[in-house]
Amino acid sequence: MTQRMSLKKLAAHLGLTEGTVSRALNNYPDISQKTRDRVQQAASELGYRANPLARRLATGIAEAVAYIMPENHSTISEPFVAQLLAGLGETLSERGWDLLVTQSVSAEEEADMLHRLITSGRVSGVVLSRPLKNDARIKLLQKAKFPFIVHGRSVEYQDYAWYDVDSKAAFVAAVDHLVALGHARIGFIGAPTYYNFAQMRLDGYKEAIVNNGLPVDPDLIQITELSDDGGELAAGDLLDRKHAPTAFLCVTDTQAFGALAAIRARGLVPGKHVSVIGYDGLRFSRHTNPPLTTMAQPQAHSGRLLGDMLLAIIDGGDPKDFQVLRSAELMRRKSDGPVWVETSETMSKTWEEQT
Amino acid sequence: MTQRMSLKKLAAHLGLTEGTVSRALNNYPDISQKTRDRVQQAASELGYRANPLARRLATGIAEAVAYIMPENHSTISEPFVAQLLAGLGETLSERGWDLLVTQSVSAEEEADMLHRLITSGRVSGVVLSRPLKNDARIKLLQKAKFPFIVHGRSVEYQDYAWYDVDSKAAFVAAVDHLVALGHARIGFIGAPTYYNFAQMRLDGYKEAIVNNGLPVDPDLIQITELSDDGGELAAGDLLDRKHAPTAFLCVTDTQAFGALAAIRARGLVPGKHVSVIGYDGLRFSRHTNPPLTTMAQPQAHSGRLLGDMLLAIIDGGDPKDFQVLRSAELMRRKSDGPVWVETSETMSKTWEEQT
DNA sequence: CTTGTTTCCGAAAGCGCTTTCGGAATAAGC
DNA sequence: GCTTATTCCGAAAGCGCTTTCGGAAACAAG
């Protein structure tokens, strides 16, 4: 362990040329089996490992992939990035590749950052997350013909690879579920619709409302920020109105946490007086008060899956062949229930007075 | 944008030598101000950016840092890795450096992985997290004289850089708080003590118990896994005993979630019949039932801090000069309260019957 | 035994940058 | 005006590996 082993030293030790040793190690066909074995054994005995930087420069293959973290890290909105990174890292390490993590400061800066990243040669592929409705990053990557995959879908999703959960269908199911419970005034707590996932969930909500013969009431739709506070504010606002909704559908579990808080703060009990359903299926959601009913997305091996798909594309696969849509499932806990029927006594009272 | 700009082309364009252009761009003193300006302007006009791989190979500086993710990603035990990564990434990107993320499969493999990582030249520094009591990784890095910083402390923490929260003191404070509320039988729900943080918290607990003139009862100490389920099992076990504790101290908020569940499952109300205090101060903890009282650690800019310290060490700073200890604060919510005094009626009844 | 094939390895040119060294050109010193 | 210092740039040798090309040696074919 005096000095790091180098190809040159290995070659000298074997009485061979650097080029020959290199080809022997990389299983070139023009090396006899005998010397190949000799070289590989010596390499492992001396603990030789090619310097990745040198190899990458020589081959032009970065042997690394970048994960672009979504912004909004100030909220608890990213409970699964650790899981996703673990999965990604697992796939990559099997190939000996590196996983880079980057994060943009602003949206405009992000395109710039991404451009620098892919032209710098540091990575051979990119995984994007939480795409916008009309995402400049996707356009950029497509134009550059750079391998990438996106976690989620943008509006036009024909031509690139993605992994997503059908949250529109999930919201349809959630609305249907609530309607079946007798709810007719269902509040929607959403996120800015430049996020395509927010748009899709809103679409699902509206579609299902209509299909159930209910009116789409714009007053019942609140767009707010992706945090518990956002959810609390939005739900509170809706609850304080004349015709408060009897149920809430939230775009994320995190917002649903806030909605629960808003309901409790008004002396009502979630799941009894007012229902709320979240989306995500965070492990944590079972601990809320009451335990949150939510549309759980299968996030088990999404990291691995994304990694495998990206590698396949880097290897020359057609991105169009890599589009997988999973579906979410209603995980019923305690925050939903039949619409609260007011008794004759309580009929004329306000919520507050009922406590 | 036909072909990526190279030093060679830039040099040709300027009628200069590659070496000269390189030195001009890197502000070497042996380049006249005039040509330096000329070069730098041309470079920015033509959008030239040095190829990082080539630069790294030539200089021997990896311009990258690795974050070793803690294992246990199956639990929700790592809610802040996203935040930490964001902070780290921010610091690094200001310098144009990369952030690598790796994760080990097994503990033994980790030492190997780490050794390969630091000898491969891919990174200039490493940030470790959640050190074990006697951490082989730290020894390895020290022996190799490789720049690193650890998030948390190991047993011997004189000679290297670390950032940690004084969780021992936090547990002393928590015990004092509970004792002041009249609690004399305080259960401790801990984690395997090969994690040094688990050991330190246990030490704090024991020390405070003794200082308060109470007996350290081994039966009150449960070591379990770092998850909500672990906490629930451990708390349940304790609650079902003859002399159940009147309060729980949990090593993490996540475990505390489980403890709350165990208490509620037995028809008791946390914060009234049985107190529980967690540790971490997760944002999420305000949403439990009831809202969790916890020792909140300042995790605001830990990522940035770790990054800055590591860079300073890489720049030649003495690791011993980079040791910062923050303290946690009691964040009182609703899961703690004075010890439950049984009335004469309930005196002889069991917990279950009281509901 | 010659000619034509294969097999296998050496030589050398990169990959795109950095950095040391030496020397021409210019400025300073007397 | 000549010597001694400075200033500034060119030349060249790496960094540690890969990959193409050509040719000597070994083999097969006639």
Distances (CA, A) of B21 to A2, B15, B60: 36, 10, 20
Could you tell me how far CA B41 lies from the centroid of its own chain? 44
- In chain B, whose CA is at the least distance from the CA of A56? B53
Of the candidates A53, A85, A289, which has its C-beta nearest B53's C-beta?
Answer: A53
CATH no. of B64-166+300-327: 3.40.50.2300
Contacts of A4 in chain B (CB under 8 A): 119
For A57, the 3-state DSSP assignment is helix
Q: How far is B207 from chain A (nearest CA, A)?
A: 31
Q: Is the pLDDT of residue B106 over 90?
A: no
B232-240 average pLDDT score = 97
Distance A32 CA to D27 C1' (A): 15
A253-301 pLDDT, tens digit each: 999 999 999 999 999 999 999 999 999 998 899 999 999 999 999 877 8
Q: Is the bond preceding A290 in cis, omega lying within 30 degrees of 0? A: yes
Can you give the residue ranges of every domain in chain B?
Answer: 7-50, 64-166+300-327, 167-297+331-354
pLDDT at B301 over 90: no
CA distance B152 to B161: 10
A249 φ/ψ angles, rounded to the nearest 5 degrees: -120, 125
- Residue (of B313, B314, B331) closest to B322 by Cα position: B313
Cβ within 8 Å, pair A284-B120 = no
Q: How confident is the model at residue A33 (pLDDT cuts 50, 70, 90)?
A: very high
- The pLDDT tens digits of the residues spanning A143-193 come to 999 999 999 999 988 899 999 999 999 999 999 999 999 999 999 999 999
Q: Do B81 and A81 touch (CB under 8 A)?
A: yes
How far apart, in Å, do the first and last CA atoms of chain A sit?
Answer: 75
- A63-72: average pLDDT: 90
| Tokens matching residue B139 | 């020894």
Vertex B104, ends A146 and B285: CA angle to 5°? Answer: 90
Positions in chain D where some atom is under 7 Å from a protein CB: 7-22
Check whether A127 has a pLDDT greater than 80: yes
Residues whose CB is less than 8 angstroms from the CB of residue B293 and which lie 6 or more positions away in sequence, other chains included: B271, B275, B276, B277, B278, B330, B331, B332, B333, B334, B335, B336
Q: pLDDT at position A77, please?
A: 47
Q: Which residues of A touch B116 (CB under 8 A)?
A: 49
Supply the angle between the helices A107-119 and A136-143 in degrees, to the nearest 10: 20
Is the pLDDT assigned to residue A350 strictly greater than 60?
no
pLDDT for A354 beyond 50: no
What average pLDDT score do residues A317-323 get?
97
Check residue B5 and report its DSSP letter: -
Highest mean pLDDT among A74-88, A217-231, B95-109: A217-231
pLDDT of residue A87: 92
Average pLDDT over residues A69-94: 79
Beta strands in chain A (DSSP E): 64-69, 98-103, 125-129, 148-151, 161-165, 186-190, 221-223, 247-250, 275-280, 293-296, 323-326, 329-331
Query: If we measure between CA atoms, which residue out of B170, B172, B171, B143 comes closest to residue B159?
Result: B143
- What's the angle, vertex CA A56, arms to CA A32 and CA A86, rounded to 5? 110
Residue B1 pLDDT > 60: no
Rounded CA separation B167/B91 (Å): 26
At B54-85, the pLDDT tens digits run 999 999 999 999 999 987 655 554 667 888 99
d(CA A250, CA A224): 10
Q: What is the mean pLDDT of the segment spanning A31-53?
A: 96
Task: Tell me if residue B275 falls in helix, strand or coil.
Answer: strand
Give me the residues near strand C, CB below 7 A: A 15-20, 30-36, 54, 57-58, 60; B 4, 6-8, 18-19, 22-23, 25-26, 28, 30, 49-51, 54-55, 57-59
Tens digit of pLDDT for each residue in B115-149? Answer: 999 999 999 999 999 999 989 999 999 999 999 99
- What mean pLDDT do residues B280-292 have? 93
Cα separation, B85 vs A73, whole angstroms: 10
Confidence band of B3 (pLDDT split at 50, 70, 90): low
CA dist., res. A201 & res. B224, Å (int): 40
Record: fold of A167-296+331-354: Rossmann fold (3.40.50)
A163 or B350, which is more confident: A163
Across the A:B interface, residue pairs with CB atoms under 8 Å apart total: 133
Is A290's CB within 8 Å of B290's CB? no
The yes-or-no verdict on residue B246 having pLDDT over 90 is yes
- pLDDT of residue B12 exceeding 50, the answer is yes
Residue B131 has a pLDDT of 92
A284/B289 Cβ within 8 A: no
Same fold: B7-50 with B167-297+331-354? no
The answer to whether the bond into B290 is cis (omega within 30° of 0) is: yes
Work out the mean pLDDT of chain B and round it to a whole number: 92
pLDDT number for residue B4: 82
Domain B7-50 sits in CATH at 1.10.260.40
CATH of domain B167-297+331-354: 3.40.50.2300
Question: What pLDDT is attached to residue A300?
Answer: 73
Token readout for B348 is 């002889």
Residues of chain A contacting B75 with CB distance shorter than 8 Å: 283
Protein CA A168 to sugar C1' C13 (Å) = 57
What mean pLDDT value characterizes chain A? 92
Which nucleotide, over all strands, has the C1' atom closest to the CA of A19? D18
Contact A86 B103 (CB under 8 A): yes
pLDDT at A108: 77
Measured CA distances, A67 to A120, A149, A197 (Å): 15, 10, 19
Tokens 């005993």 found at: B241
